[in-house]
Structure 1
Amino acid sequence: MESSDTFVIVGAGLAGAKAAQTLREEGFAGRVILLGAEPERPYERPPLSKGLLLGTTGWLDAYVHDPGWYAANDVELRTATRVTAVDRDLRQVVLDTGERLGYDKLLLTTGSTPRRLDVPGADLDGVRYLRTLDDSAEISTALVGGARVVVIGAGWIGLEVAAAARQYGAAVTVVETADLPLQRVLGNEVARVFADLHRGHDVTFHFGVGVQEMRGAGRVSSVLLTDGTELPADTVVVGVGIQPDTKLAEAAGLKVDNGIVTDARLRTSDPHIYAAGDVANAHHPLLDRQLRVEHWANALNGGPAAARSMLGQQVEYDRLPYFFSDQYDLGMEYSGWVDPRGYDRVVFRGDPAVVGGRAPEFLAFWVSDGRVLAGMNANVWDVTDQIQALVRAGHRGRAVDLDRLADPQVPLGDLLS
């Protein structure tokens, strides 16, 4: 790369910030411009539904870098700056001010946006979505003892908000169209653990129903479900998934299919443009499929991988999908990928039963023909590397003895020896 080259990064979240950091660490001496639509400098999103919501983490802990890091590393950070277009012919990005910035390489880390609930009353005051620091602050002020909180969607965000609300003493009801929380991600066997955990903390579930209407005079006061049930509500938090922010890529004519399509080097259909993080639908060489991953670890690792690829290094981004969650006294980590219908059994190591509202300690493995395709550790720590080794071996076709897999006396590392 020439010292006169300009690399532009659109999207000042974790992936973009880590990409800028990696460019400098790898010795890139050219111009680095990091553009973010939010007024804040780059920050991490997991604390929004965890520590920040509970008040156990301060705002400063969420930021990726100290305020002075960007100037000290000659990274031009422009916050509150929207990019309205990418001119591929001229290799320029167009800002909302009309300014044009030229690039030699462009990285799109535009992330994702919450899916909106399209029902009458969805725009009432008190209906919240959780995606930004301001969102987290607004929701946290509403989570008080005695408040009636209705959570729409029993995914990770919905359940973490529900857990935080209960810890503040709010009355919590969760509405979910599926039959169990996290069913599409974890399958019935492990989803039941989370249902039992929340019921043990007096969360009420309404499964198999949707929302017909939000009611209230200016501010939400109730939620009408599709089965006719009306739930009183002081605050409604909607967590019905996110969608990749591909507007710029689509308008620029890049290949888009459930995200910006890239190869394993995170290169898009334009050789000068790369994508990483939530927005990238990248080819995963181990899984041999296109995969879009919406979790923190993908932004943390994908941004640096894209930066190295932009520098011409031989990158093959093959990180296993990984995510974590904290709910009440349950902390968990999940590694791997498996289609909801792509496993024939779940093997438990330890008892997953929730007793007296207390979270269990166990491992769970999603298995097909003896091959471990994904694994989760719940309140069992320092086993992620071993679980990921089993998952990698499983996706390469190697089976393990399932009786030994379930036996806590057998070290995980011995299963592949």
Structure 2
Amino acid sequence: MERIVVVGAGQAAGWAVSTLRQEGFTGEIHVVSDENQIFYERPPLSKQVLSKEATYDSLNLFSPEQIDAFSIHLHKPDRATQIDRVSQQVTLESGKVLAYDKLLIATGSRARVPANTWKDIPNVVTLRDVQDCERLAKRLDTAQSVAIVGGGWIGLEIAATARKQGKTVDVFEYAERLCAR
């Protein structure tokens, strides 16, 4: 039986799994996610969820019944730490080793900070996943002012949410204009 391993469980991974099943793939599908929540949209995190206009459950692409119907093997929360292309195996942080016939890497992007040392500063928060959103929401509850590094869509949506909550907001962008990328 053919086995596909999908590393990542965001929107792209969810639609890939759905499409595989819709197109008749009957083999094993293993999904590796470093998060508990799977197959969800991230864009609403920076505005609708952060401002409490939407819930985390509203981000889900599929119902629990649909996910059950996909008949997938979930490895969560776990992280892929090594890919051996020669032996076609993915090693997980838990120590599990998953053999594959085909591998899909759907990890998306990662939040960037200007310097790695910023990651150790308690008041520096990035926004990429549900846990980040929860952390940022708690910080916003008690903050009087917010500095946002990055004038892209996510940064500007966070700025709008903070302003709506009455916070003083400064946005720092190195490009000549906002949303230049």
User: By the TM > 0.5 criterion, same fold?
Assistant: yes
- Is 1:69 the equivalent of 2:69? no
- Is 1:5 the equivalent of 2:23? no
Q: What is the Cα-based RMSD across aligned positions, in Å?
A: 1.9
Give the superposition deviation at 1:110: 1.6
What code does the residue aligned with 1:70 have? I
Which residue is 1:143 aligned to? 140
Matches within 5 A, 1:1-400: 4-118=1-115, 123-144=120-141, 147-182=144-179, 184-185=180-181
CA gap of 1:165–1:122, structure 2 versus 1, over 3 A, is: same
Kindly name which structure, 1 or 2, has the bigger radius of gyration based on alpha carbons: 1
Structure 1 Cα separation of the partners of residues 99 and 118 of structure 2: 44
Please identify which structure carries the higher helix content. Answer: 2
Structure 1 Cα separation of the partners of residues 65 and 155 of structure 2: 35
Please identify which structure carries the higher strand content. Answer: 1
2:17–2:70 contact (8 Å) kept in structure 1 = no
1:14–1:44 contact (8 Å) kept in structure 2 = yes
Structure 2 Cα separation of the partners of residues 122 and 49 of structure 1: 19
Give the superposition deviation at 1:27: 0.8
Give the superposition deviation at 1:9: 0.8
CA gap of 1:32–1:170, structure 2 versus 1, over 3 A, is: same
- TM-score (norm. length: structure 2): 0.90
Give the superposition deviation at 1:68: 3.6
What code does the residue aligned with 1:13 have? G
CA shift digits 1:13-38 (9 cap, x unpaired): 11111111111111111111111111
> Structure 2, unaligned stretches of length 5 or more?
none
Give the superposition deviation at 1:168: 0.9
Give the superposition deviation at 1:145: 8.5
Aligned identity (percent) is: 38
DSSP-derived class of the 2:103 partner: strand
CA shift digits 1:154-183 (9 cap, x unpaired): 11111111111111111111122233212x
Structure 2 Cα separation of the partners of residues 172 and 145 of structure 1: 14
Give the superposition deviation at 1:122: 5.5
Higher mean Cα deviation, 161-170 or 69-78?
69-78
Structure 1 Cα separation of the partners of residues 120 and 143 of structure 2: 24
1:17–1:34 contact (8 Å) kept in structure 2 = no
CA shift digits 1:215-265 (9 cap, x unpaired): xxxxxxxxxxxxxxxxxxxxxxxxxxxxxxxxxxxxxxxxxxxxxxxxxxx
CA gap of 1:69–1:54, structure 2 versus 1, over 3 A, is: same
Higher relative contact order (CA 8 A, sep 6+): 2
Give the count of matched residue pairs.
181
What code does the residue aligned with 2:103 have? L
1:144–1:170 contact (8 Å) kept in structure 2 = no
Give the superposition deviation at 1:119: 7.4
CA shift digits 1:279-328 (9 cap, x unpaired): xxxxxxxxxxxxxxxxxxxxxxxxxxxxxxxxxxxxxxxxxxxxxxxxxx
What code does the residue aligned with 2:26 have? A
- TM-score (norm. length: structure 1): 0.41
1:70–1:77 contact (8 Å) kept in structure 2 = no
Structure 1 Cα separation of the partners of residues 74 and 47 of structure 2: 27
DSSP-derived class of the 1:65 partner: coil
CA gap of 1:18–1:178, structure 2 versus 1, over 3 A, is: same
The runs of 4+ residues in structure 1 deviating greater than 6 Å are none
